[in-house]
Chains A and B, each alone.
Chain A
Amino acid sequence: SYVLTQPPSVSVAPGQTARITCGGDNIGSKTVHWYQQKPGQAPVLVVYDDSDRPSGIPERFSGSNTGNPAILTISRVEAGDEADYYCQVWDSSSDLYVFGAGTKVTVL
């Protein structure tokens, strides 16, 4: 089955840039989506189709998938960005959806 690999944790100072990676076999050929989950809350879609943002998501959140790995970038990080972030794809070969294990972003 298809596996997505994320770092367990990323730490970043306020105002700096956080980059969260999502690796997988030939991931550039897949469409990657990203979710933010704060404690006690349901996940929220923050980037879809590699690099698009749903309405209401700040421009500080951006995604790219030009190779391995795919990357979620959070610019000008704020304390409120502290959360778990998950990448997700649909694997066409197995016709299944797959999540990465998640990355905990800590704002120092």
Chain B
Amino acid sequence: QVQLVQSGGEVKRPGASVKVSCKASGYSFSSYGISWVRQAPGQGLEWMGWISPYNGNTKYPQKLQGRATMTTDTSTTTAYMELRTLRSDDTALYYCVRVVGQGSFDIWGQGTMVTVSS
């Protein structure tokens, strides 16, 4: 079946970097974009960016420009999201999602908890 399986939770110090992986299976990986969405504890959903596994094109919101980098490895059908210079307000559950059609997110990973604490 179509699924996205993410790497396990991480605990990082402020100023460090984190890289989360998202293994796709059950569909043609290069045919659909991947976005990353995060959710701080008790808060709503925040879109973090998008990548095309087909050509590597990316787009990010202004807020994360320069701190977030999304990449894909088509040989392993895996997407990655790296976030640098971590702050306490980056503590959140991070989801990878498949983007289809007119921009809906039809498949979600199980989420990866990233905790930033000194």
Contact = CB atoms under 8 A, between A and B. Distances in A.
A69 interface: no
Contacts of A61: none
Nearest to A33: B104
Interface in A77-106: 84, 86, 88-90, 95-102
Interface of A is mostly: strand
Contacts of B35: 97
B10 interface: no
Contacts, number: 60
B115 to A, nearest CB: 17
Contacts of B106: 45, 48, 54
A73 interface: no
Given A96-B59, A97-B35, A88 B44 contact: no
A45 B99 CA distance: 11
Interface string A38-78: 00001111001100001000000000000000000000000
Contacts of A101: 44
B45 A42 contact: no
B61 interface: yes
B14 interface: no
A97 B50 contact: yes
A95 B103 contact: no
B116 to A, nearest CB: 21
Interface string B17-55: 000000000000000000101000000111100100000
A98 B62 CA distance: 13
Contacts of B46: 99
Given A54-B106, A99-B44, 19 more contacts: A33-B103, A35-B45, A42-B108, A42-B109, A42-B111, A43-B45, A43-B95, A48-B104, A48-B106, A49-B101, A86-B44, A88-B104, A88-B105, A89-B103, A96-B47, A96-B61, A97-B50, A97-B103, A102-B44
Interface of B: 35, 37, 44-47, 50, 59, 61-62, 95, 101-106, 108-111
